[in-house]
Amino acid sequence: MSVIVRSVLLFLAASLLLLAPVRAEMAPARTPSVEEAEAGLQKAGAQLAVIADKVDQHREDDARLVELKNEAEALNRSLLAISVATRPRLEAIKARQAELGDPPGEDSAPEAAIVVEERKKLAADRNAINALTGEAENLSIEATKLANSITEIRRSLFTDAILKRTEISGDIFTRAGDALVTEVRTLGRTVAAWGKFVWKFKRLALLSAIGLSLLVALVLLVGSLRMFSPYFNRASVTERPTYMTRLSVAFWSTILPSMAATVFAVTSYFLLDVFNVLRPDIAPLVAIALAIGVVVFFVLKLMNAVLCPGDGNWRLVRLSDRGAFRLWLLIAVMAVVNGADYVLAAISEALGSPVVLTVAKSFLASIVIGVLLIVTAFVRPILKKGEPPDAPGRPWPRPIFLALVFIGAGLVVSALLGYVGLSRFVATQIVVTGALLVTMYIGVLSGRAVSAPNAFAETAMGKRLEARFGLSQLGLDQMGLAAGFGIHILVFACFIPLILLQWGFQIADIEAGAYRLFTEIHIGSITISLVGIFAGLMLFTIGFLLTRWLQRWLDGHVLARSQVDAGVRNSVRTAIGYAGVALAGLIGISAAGINLSSLALVAGALSLGIGFGLQNIFSNFVSGLILLAERPFKVGDWVVAGTTEGFVRRISVRATEIETFQRQTVIVPNSVLINGQVGNWTHRNKLGRLELALSVHAGNDPLRVRDILFEVVRAQPGLLRNPEPSVVFMAFSAATLDFEIRAFVADILTAGAVKSDLRAAILLRLREDDIAIGAPAAPEVPVKISPEGAELLGEIVGQAAEAIRSRPARRRGRASSGEDNP
Amino acid sequence: MITMLLALTATSASAWAATVVNKDDSAYVLVVTEGGSRMEIAVEAGMTETICPAGCFVTLPSGDRIALTGGETIEIESGTASVK
């Protein structure tokens, strides 16, 4: 093999070696001393006590509890890490003790003092480490128990909030009424005092906070509007828009303004806080009002998009105009009532009003929402297929009707029974989770619609991309698939956390869950890490691309410039390709956390398969490697393998492609090429001999003919002088003299053309020199004839001779040599 | 192909849990602390047990206590345990 191939292999080996120290560095450099571990344990113990204290303090605060639980779990992990770090020391002690062996018996000679001392020290160290690990173990148990108890506390918190029962009686309402009067008065006073103060001293801060956040929201809204305007603009389509357009308009016209509203709410609260405009008693009120405002805005926007009370053409669902309008109204009222419930509850909490007031308000809100649901059940919005939007609607399908009545009645009844928390929870779920689910569903539908065949090309963005980058139909279709997939991911990533938040999960909960989902999924004793697998895939891709780049660079720059033969270049490129992919695969597998040693097991299982079924493929594979290394032929060679003759087009690992002269590609398994005989016309050089057989009439002089032929051959361009051409007198018969011309050409590929030219030249020359080529079947033909016939024939010939003799004499030279007639 | 990949993942992923291999002729009892509780796990002679998928403390037959993060293999041979 050439130097280049060898150097490439060296390079690969060197890069493998380079990886080795990296692995070594990842291992802990030194073992911490026992004292350090002890200090770490003490710190962990103190932390655990602090966490336990905090849990006691924040028994009512769900969000805080989640954080504490995460802290406890992290502490548990650090305990484990501390103990694991002491393990090498323990191993070393054990090894040393084994080296020393058992202490000598009483009757044998005592050991040297230094050995006794060492024994003592080792035993003491070993005990210390064991004690330390035992302590860590106890702490770990405590930490786990604490984490479990936090979960328990949170569960009971949730059930308390939902299933707490209050006796509903007239007394409650009178007390609530009193409390309400006080609350309104206090609220008025607080807000007025705050407002006066802010207006007098913090006017600039207030206005700039609101102005700035409005600006941010507007920039976001305008920017996204410009970006998505084709999805967004209802006016741009005059007649009835397609389902796809309606879907995307509905989705984006809900999402974008809602996002802008969220940004406005968050920034304005943040800025008000930063500018010190908020007072501690006002801050929660502003926060909840902003949050609820955003939620209500989102629900209303969504209902607008789905129901479109003003324009039946844009309605996503098949509902009548009147039905849609009524539904819109009912849902809007429900959302507002539910939102108001939460705002008022927050106000009561902030102002320290009695709980009874909150209960009364939630009671009323639940009853209102329940009644509204029952009313909704009696709206008749349904249209049959093909009916115009302004037709009178029909009642709901029975299941929906029953569900609405049942849930509405349930809300009212549970509120009346005193389960106000439960009915409030359910009412919120119906409004907010329902809205989120509807948006999610629309998002999923629009994702599906985008990824439908040829749908993406129809969208405005698809058209723009087509015009800009000149994408083909196929490319657009694939982009549509990708876009659909992206929308799906976006929808799930955005809405599932929102819904979970709705259901009482805390953000820290979701973060921890997502973290766990991505780093370790336990199935029985198997742990799968999505991040690891993803990293492995990424590394493999990077390695693959790097290999391709290296191949191209080496081929195009180094090898091409050093005038290396095309076949060698091909071999080098292929070898690098396989080595690189294998290397990238190994790195990727290791990064994915798949243990390579377990590959041995799989390989063992496979070896049986290779022995039987894969035998052929494997032998072809090895043959392919041999072909690349030995290079009996290379790409572009003219080979003959069995009945196949043609040019080698590609040598891959399993088979070689040979293109015949008829342009048929024949795939020949490599093992055939290695095991069988392969003729190669262009192995070392392209020199080739051509043979041309020809015959002339037997009456010619063979030596003369040979000389003439030799002259022609020597004069023929395209034939080599050295090795010298030859003309061989092969055979003679009664009819012909057979010759063969043997001559060499520099490039065997030109042999066909040269032969053709040569034949033409020979023929012209033979004609010129009057050398007869053709011959009859036999020189003399006996004819049988009767005596009368002969006499008659003689007479005719005599007359004819007479007639000819009487004409002027002319030369009949050809007849003398030809003697064609008997 | 996919089954092969799955098999590969399965065989390799089990490496995350710790494994106890008993090469002796007699059974041993290990005390494993995991998830806030201590439990005793018997490893029969010549058997292999898989313990603690997510880190644990183990008390070896010799009385030594060690912590495992998972992925280790404990070999018990002629009465002494060693972590690999």
Among B16, B53, B67, beta carbon nearest to A84: B67
Which secondary-structure segment (H or E) carries A678?
strand A678-680
Say if A369 falls within a structural domain: yes
CB contact under 8 A, A593 and B13: yes
Q: Could you read off the pLDDT of A732-791 as tens digits, one per residue?
A: 988 889 999 999 999 888 889 999 999 999 999 998 988 888 755 445 556 778 888 889
Closest approach of chain A CAs to the CA of B35, in angstroms? Answer: 6
**Of A684, A702, A737, which closes a domain?**
A684
Closest approach of chain B CAs to the CA of A524, in angstroms? Answer: 8
Chain A residues touching residue B66 (CB < 8 angstroms): 83, 87, 90, 133
Judge if A314 and A197 occupy the same domain: yes
Judge if A133 and A204 occupy the same domain: no
Residue holding tokens 């034949």? A759
Judge if A196 and A293 occupy the same domain: yes
| Band of residue A237 on the pLDDT scale cut at 50, 70, 90 | low
CB A468 within 8 A of CB A485: no
A-facing residues of B in 2-31 (CB < 8 A) are: 4, 7-17
Q: Could you read off the pLDDT of A484-535 as tens digits, one per residue?
A: 888 888 888 888 888 888 777 777 777 778 877 777 676 665 667 788 888 8
Residue holding tokens 């399965």? B10
Token readout for A241 is 């828009």
Pick the residue from chain B with its C-alpha nearest to A129. Answer: B65
- Residue partners of A19: CB distance under 8 A and separation at least 6: A587
Cα–Cα distances (Å) from A317 to A257, A378, A441, A719, in that order, read: 22, 18, 13, 85
Question: HEC profile for A408-444?
Answer: HHHHHHHHHHCCHHHHHHHHHHHHHHHHHHHHHHHHH
CB contact under 8 A, B36 and A148: yes
Cα–Cα distances (Å) from A245 to A222, A309, A459, A647, in that order, read: 20, 18, 8, 55
Q: Could you read off the pLDDT of A241-286 as tens digits, one per residue?
A: 777 777 777 877 888 888 889 988 998 898 888 888 887 778 888 8
User: Span B28-33, mean pLDDT?
Assistant: 85
Phi, psi (degrees; rounded to nearest 5) at A736? -135, 160
Distance between alpha carbon B42 and the CA centroid of its chain, in Å?
Answer: 11
> How would DSSP label each residue in A553-612?
HIIIIIIHHTT--HHHHHHHHHHHHHHHHHHHHHHHHHHTT--GGGHHHHHHHHHHHHHT
Among A91, A133, A526, beta carbon nearest to B65: A133
Q: Is the pLDDT of residue A319 over 90?
A: no
A-facing residues of B in 27-46 (CB < 8 A) are: 33, 35-38
CB A365 within 8 A of CB A341: yes
Residues B10-39 as b or e (16 or more Cβ within 10 Å = b): ebbbbbbbbbbbbeeeeebebebbbbeeee
Helix, strand or coil, per DSSP, at residue B3: helix
Strand partners, A727: A741
**Of A768, A789, A811, which closes a domain?**
A768
Cis preceding-peptide flag for A230 (omega within 30 of 0): no
Mean pLDDT for all residues in chain A: 82
Share of chain A above pLDDT 90, in %: 17
Q: What is the ipTM of this complex?
A: 0.81
Closest approach of chain A CAs to the CA of B75, in angstroms? Answer: 13
Chain A residues touching residue B15 (CB < 8 angstroms): 595, 598
Say if A257 falls within a structural domain: yes
| Band of residue A10 on the pLDDT scale cut at 50, 70, 90 | very low
Number of structural domains (chain A) is: 5
Judge if A135 and A55 occupy the same domain: yes
Residue A648 sits in a domain whose CATH number is 2.30.30.60
Judge if A299 and A220 occupy the same domain: yes
Judge if A370 and A272 occupy the same domain: yes
Nearest to A590 by CA among A535, A541, A548: A535
Say if A470 falls within a structural domain: no
Pick the residue from chain B with its C-alpha nearest to A601. Answer: B11
Q: pLDDT value at position A814?
A: 47
Q: Is the pLDDT of residue A707 over 60?
A: yes
CB contact under 8 A, A84 and B69: yes
Q: pLDDT value at position A526?
A: 62
Q: pLDDT value at position A297?
A: 92
pTM: predicted TM-score of the whole model, two decimal places:
0.55
CB B36 within 8 A of CB A150: no
**Of A684, A712, A746, which closes a domain?**
A684
Which secondary-structure segment (H or E) carries B39?
strand B37-43
Nearest to B35 by CA among A132, A332, A144: A144
Q: pLDDT value at position A546?
A: 93
Say if A460 falls within a structural domain: no
Sign of the C-alpha dihedral, residues A187, A190, A193, A199?
negative
Judge if A723 and A654 occupy the same domain: no
Q: Is the pLDDT of residue A240 over 80?
A: no
Say if A93 falls within a structural domain: yes
CB A738 within 8 A of CB A693: yes
Interface test with B, best of A140, A531, A590, A596 (most B CBs within 10 A): A140
Judge if A676 and A620 occupy the same domain: yes
Task: List helix spans (H) across A313-459.
Answer: 321-351, 355-378, 398-417, 420-428, 434-451, 455-458
Sign of the C-alpha dihedral, residues A275, A277, A282, A286?
negative
Among B17, B33, B55, beta carbon nearest to A525: B17
Judge if A254 and A265 occupy the same domain: yes
Helix, strand or coil, per DSSP, at residue A520: coil
Please state, in angstroms and rounded to a whole number, the distance separating the CA atoms of residues A472 and A482.
15
Residue A742 sits in a domain whose CATH number is 3.30.70.100
Instruction: Mark out chain A residues that contact chain B at CB-CB < 8 A.
Output: 77, 80-81, 83-84, 86-87, 90-91, 94, 98, 126, 129-130, 133-134, 136-137, 140-141, 144-145, 147-148, 520, 522, 524-528, 593-595, 598-599, 601-602
Closest approach of chain B CAs to the CA of A123, in angstroms? Answer: 12
Chain A residues touching residue B13 (CB < 8 angstroms): 526-528, 593-594
- Residue partners of B10: CB distance under 8 A and separation at least 6: A526
| Band of residue B31 on the pLDDT scale cut at 50, 70, 90 | confident
Judge if A250 and A140 occupy the same domain: no
Judge if A210 and A338 occupy the same domain: yes
Say if A475 falls within a structural domain: no
CB contact under 8 A, A520 and B54: yes
Token readout for B47 is 């058997």
Say if A493 falls within a structural domain: no
Judge if A129 and A190 occupy the same domain: no
User: Span A435-454, mean pLDDT?
Assistant: 81
DSSP assigned state of A685: -
Domain that holds residue A11: 1-30+520-594
Cα–Cα distances (Å) from A706 to A696, A700, A756, A771, in that order, read: 11, 10, 19, 12
| Band of residue B7 on the pLDDT scale cut at 50, 70, 90 | very low
Chain B residues touching residue A524 (CB < 8 angstroms): 53
Sign of the C-alpha dihedral, residues B67, B69, B70, B72?
negative
Say if A495 falls within a structural domain: no
